[in-house]
Structures are given as C-alpha cells and as structure tokens.
C-alpha cells in the first residue's frame, strides 16, 4: 500500500527499467460471485492454502450488449495464482448468468459452470478501480500495477450501470501489485527498500466485506 508520494517516487526510480503499457490510466470493472452466506469471501479471508473465485470483468464500462467482457475463474494455491478466463459478449455473459444459457462448450466454461453449480454462486458485489500497468523493458513478464480509487457497491450489479461506488481506501492511497516470474531484480529490491515498501495481504472484496461487518458500510443499504 503506497501513499501518493511513494507512488510518484517509485515511478521515478523504476522508469529506467519499466515502461507503462499502451492503455495508460484505465478503468477495470468486476462483478464477483459468492454464496448466500458469503462462503467464498469468508474462506478467502482465512488465507487457506487453496482458494478460488469467479468474476465477470470488463475494461471500461460496457456501452452495449456486444461489448467484450471476460468470465474469469481464479485459483490460488500456496501463493501461486492460476487464472482461467473466456472472452464473450456482455449479452452472452448475462444470458448465461441469468438464464443458464451455456455460451460455448469449452473446457474453461465447463470449469466455470461446475464452480457455479458446486457453490450455487451468483453476483454479489461490484468493484471498480482505475489502473496503471507497467512491464519490464528486458523481461515483459515482470509486471507492476497501480490501482487508484477502489470503489465498491452491492446494488446495481450490472456492468452497464457505471463504475460508481463507495471508495474503499483513504484519499491518495495507491494499491500496488508486483508480478515476478522469478527472482526480484536488484534494482527493484533497492527501490522498494529505499521507500520502505513491504508486502501486505490485501483483498479488495475482503476489505469491503470486513468493513461491512464492522459497520463502516451498511450491508443491506440500497445506496452504497
């Protein structure tokens, strides 16, 4: 977790080694699935060796039924993340979620359908944030993302409803994630040490859920 000052200074330190991707600052919108009793997020908060989640994601707010979205099944085992996802139109995704119309007969969709059937999972929360992504100049598998203005809502669980929601972090906070294929480069170690940046466990959905339980957000409020 970075302050705005740490973020700006880190960008300066890594600029000789990393380049911002072509999308610049862009918005990511996701709808997460869960059970009636919030089984998936409760399990995730307990930090088990294995956990999984399902989400519907779009890059930007979809403008029509033909907009591209992604159904993603994300699994984590012993700290390693495995992601399975399929691209489809918003119309096909909603037809599957609302009416069970199978969009395609692929291995990934069969896995997604098994997940939904096993957990009886359905859309539970919307999360959006503005992201900047960077990749290593010598190794593009080294990636760094910065998320701003993380916002959540329980109502209007429709990607076309916009990216509004209750902000999760204090103003100016930036969530950084580093994806490293192997050992961390020395220049990156040096930059993180210089700014006193250390790993933390953070889940956007998990943090929102915890704040709901603490009464910081109203769980059943029609307006977040």
* pLDDT over 50 at 221, yes or no: no
How far is residue 104's CA from residue 54's CA, in Å, rounded to a whole number?
17
pLDDT of residue 32: 97
Residues 87-110, mean pLDDT to the nearest whole number: 91
Domains and CATH numbers, the chain: 4-213 (3.20.100.30)
Contact 18, 136 (CB under 8 A): yes
Average confidence (pLDDT) over 185-196 = 96
DSSP the chain: -B-HHHHHHHHHHHTTTEEE-TT-SEEEEEEEEE-TT-HHHHHHHT--SEEEEEEEEEES---STT-EEEEEEEEEETTEEEEEEEEEEHHHHHHHHHH-------HHHHHHHHHHHHHT-EEEEEEEEEEEEEEESS-TT-EEEEEEEEEEESS---GGG-S--EE-S-TT-BEEEEE-SSSPPHHHHHHHHHTT-------HHHHHHHHHHTTSS-TT-S--
Residue 218 is predicted with a pLDDT of: 56
pLDDT (0 to 100) of residue 181: 80
% of the chain at pLDDT higher than 90:
78
DSSP characters for 79-135? Answer: TEEEEEEEEEEHHHHHHHHHH-------HHHHHHHHHHHHHT-EEEEEEEEEEEEEE
Q: What is the mean pLDDT of residues 167-181?
A: 91
Q: What is the pLDDT of residue 136?
A: 95
Where residue 219 falls among pLDDT bands split at 50, 70, 90? very low
Average pLDDT, the chain: 92
**Given this model, what pLDDT does residue 117 score?**
94
Per-residue model confidence as pLDDT tens digits over 57-84: 999 999 999 999 999 999 988 878 889 9
pLDDT one-digit tens code per residue, 146-170: 999 999 999 999 999 999 999 998 8
pLDDT surpasses 50 at 137: yes
Q: What is the mean pLDDT of residues 34-49?
A: 93
Residue 140 has pLDDT above 60, yes or no: yes
**pLDDT value, residue 223:** 37
Q: For residue 125, give every residue at least 6 positions away whose Cβ sits within 8 Å of its Cβ, in sequence order, or none.
A: 31, 32, 34, 152, 153, 154, 157, 205, 208
Residue 220 pLDDT: 42
């Amino acid at each position: 977790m970075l302050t705005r000052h740490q973020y700006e200074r880190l960008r300066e330190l890594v600029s000789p080694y990393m380049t911002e991707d072509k999308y610049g600052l862009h918005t990511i919108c996701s709808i997460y699935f869960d059970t009636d009793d919030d089984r998936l997020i409760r399990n995730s908060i307990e930090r088990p060796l294995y956990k999984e989640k399902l989400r519907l994601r779009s890059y930007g707010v979809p403008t029509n039924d033909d907009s591209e979205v992604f159904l993603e099944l994300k699994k984590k085992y012993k700290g390693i993340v495995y992601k399975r996802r399929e691209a489809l139109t918003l119309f096909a995704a909603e037809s599957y979620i609302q009416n069970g119309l199978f969009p395609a007969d692929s291995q990934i969709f069969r896995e997604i359908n098994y997940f939904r059937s096993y957990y009886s999972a359905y859309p539970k929360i919307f999360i959006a944030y503005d992201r900047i992504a960077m990749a290593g100049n010598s190794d593009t598998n080294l990636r760094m993302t910065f998320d701003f203005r993380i916002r959540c809502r329980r109502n209007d669980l429709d990607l076309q409803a916009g990216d509004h929601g209750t902000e999760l972090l204090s103003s100016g906070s930036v969530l950084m994630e580093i994806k490293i294929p192997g050992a961390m480069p020395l220049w990156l170690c040096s930059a993180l040490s210089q700014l006193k940046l250390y790993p933390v466990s953070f889940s956007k959905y998990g943090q929102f859920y915890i704040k709901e339980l603490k009464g910081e957000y109203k769980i059943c409020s029609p307006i977040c």
